[in-house]
C-alpha cells in the first residue's frame, strides 16, 4: 500500500504543477487509499472504487464526485501499469446538473446587509456587512475575500489584489469609490481586534483571527432568513456564491442599458472574475431573463435595420 500513497503524492504534485489546488481531491483519495488498506487491497479495481464511492453520503452528486476523483488517479496510474482498472465514465453518472443561480435584487442585498446589524458583537456586524458588500460589489469568490490581507488593499490606488486564487492566478481589482470608502471605514474602526498571526487579515473575526468560511455560511443562513430572502424553487436557493452571479449579470445589464458593447464587456468581466477564458463567464449569465430580454431587443433592432 505504501507504493500507492507514494503514487498519490506524485499524482498530486504533477497536477498542482499545472495550477490545480486539489485540496478536496487529496482528502478524498487519501480516504480511498485508507479504504483499500483496511480491506487488504494493494491495487485499484473498479469493484473497490464503486464500493467506496457509493458508501452512504450526501446523494448521487457526492457519489459521482468521489468516483470521479478515483477515476482521474486511476487513469494516471494506468499509463504506467495496465493492471490498474479505470472506472468507466458512465458509472455513477452525476445527473443532478447545476443549481439555478439565484439572482439578488439590490433591495435584497441591502436587506442582507441590514440583517447583519442584528448580530450581537459590533465588530462582527461590521465584518459581515463589509463582507457582503464586498462580494456584491466585486463578484469575488468567498474564499478569495476571506484570504485577503490588509496589505492587499491599496486605498490610494483604489484596488484590491487577489493573490493565489483559482489555478494559482492573481489579479488586481479596481474598486468603486463607495467600496473604497467602506473598506477604509472598516479598517479604521476603534474596536478592530489585534490581529493574530504574522499576516493581518483584511476581514478579522472578533478574536483577531481570519474569518472562517464555515462561520460565514452558518451566519449567512440565519441572516438571509431574517432578511426575508427565500428560495425561488427547490433548485434555486440563495447562496453566497449567488452574489457572484448577480454581480456578473448586473455588469452586463449595465453594458446594454448604457449602450455600451456587451461583447467587449464580457472579456473585461471574465478577467475581473478571475476566469481562465470568457467561456467560463457565460455560465454566470445564462439564467437572467432581464438580460435575455435586452439581448433579444437588440437582436430585433438589428434584424429590423437589415430589413
Order of strands, sheet of 153-154, starting from the edge strand that comes earlier in the sequence? 153-154, 159-162, 171-174
Question: Of 48, 141, 210, 245, which is the active-site residue?
Answer: 141
Please work out, in degrees rounded to the nearest 5, the angle formed at the alpha carbon of residue 178 by the alpha carbons of 172 and 184. Answer: 75
Asked if 256 contacts 294 with a C-beta cutoff of 8 angstroms, the reply is: yes
Question: CA dist 152 to 157, 177, 267, Å?
Answer: 11, 17, 24
Task: Considering the candidates 166, 189, 226, 265, report the single residue annotated as catalytic.
Answer: 166
The catalytic residue among 163, 226, 241, 265 is: 241
Please give the Cα distance from 251 to 104 (Å, whole number). 13
What is the distance of C-alpha 63 from the center of its chain?
21
Q: Among this protein's residues, is 123 annotated catalytic?
A: no
Q: Considering 76, 256, 272, 284, which one is annotated as catalytic? A: 284
Q: Per the residue annotation, which of 48, 210, 244, 250 is the catalytic one?
A: 244
Active site residue 245: no
Q: Which of 48, 66, 250, 275 is catalytic?
A: 275
Please, what's the b/e burial string for 5-44 (b: 16 or more CB within 10 A of its CB; e: otherwise)?
Answer: eebbeebbeebeeeeeebeebbebbeebbebbeeeeeeeb
169 is catalytic: no
Specify whether 244 is catalytic.
yes
- Write out the catalytic residue numbers: 141, 166, 241, 244, 275, 284
Amino acid at each position: 500500500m505504501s507504493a500507492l500513497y507514494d503514487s498519490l503524492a506524485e499524482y498530486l504534485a504533477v497536477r498542482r504543477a499545472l495550477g490545480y489546488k486539489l485540496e478536496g481531491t487529496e482528502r478524498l483519495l487519501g480516504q480511498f487509499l485508507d479504504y483499500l488498506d483496511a480491506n487488504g487491497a494493494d491495487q485499484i479495481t473498479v469493484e473497490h472504487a464503486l464500493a467506496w464511492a457509493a458508501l452512504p453520503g450526501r446523494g448521487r452528486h457526492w457519489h459521482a464526485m468521489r468516483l470521479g476523483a478515483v477515476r482521474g488517479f486511476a487513469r494516471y496510474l494506468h499509463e504506467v501499469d495496465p493492471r490498474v482498472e479505470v472506472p468507466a465514465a458512465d458509472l455513477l453518472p452525476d445527473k443532478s446538473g447545476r443549481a439555478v443561480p439565484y439572482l439578488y435584487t439590490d433591495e435584497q442585498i441591502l436587506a442582507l446587509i441590514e440583517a447583519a446589524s442584528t448580530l450581537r458583537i459590533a465588530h462582527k456586524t461590521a465584518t459581515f456587512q463589509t463582507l457582503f458588500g464586498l462580494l456584491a460589489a466585486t463578484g469575488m469568490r468567498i474564499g478569495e475575500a476571506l484570504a485577503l490581507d490588509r496589505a492587499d488593499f491599496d486605498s490610494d490606488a483604489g484596488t484590491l489584489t487577489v493573490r493565489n486564487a483559482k489555478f494559482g492566478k492573481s489579479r488586481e481589482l479596481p474598486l468603486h469609490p463607495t467600496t473604497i470608502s467602506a473598506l477604509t471605514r472598516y479598517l479604521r474602526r476603534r474596536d478592530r481586534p489585534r490581529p493574530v498571526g504574522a499576516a493581518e487579515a483584511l476581514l478579522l473575526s472578533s478574536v483577531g483571527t481570519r474569518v472562517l468560511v464555515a462561520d460565514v455560511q452558518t451566519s449567512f443562513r440565519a441572516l438571509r432568513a431574517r432578511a426575508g430572502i427565500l428560495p425561488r424553487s427547490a433548485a434555486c436557493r440563495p447562496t453566497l456564491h449567488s452574489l457572484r452571479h448577480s454581480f456578473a449579470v448586473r455588469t452586463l445589464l449595465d453594458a446594454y442599458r448604457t449602450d455600451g458593447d456587451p461583447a467587449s464587456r464580457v472579456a473585461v468581466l471574465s478577467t475581473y472574475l478571475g476566469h481562465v477564458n470568457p467561456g467560463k463567464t457565460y455560465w454566470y449569465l445564462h439564467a437572467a431573463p432581464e438580460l435575455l430580454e435586452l439581448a433579444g431587443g437588440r437582436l430585433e433592432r438589428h434584424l429590423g435595420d437589415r430589413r
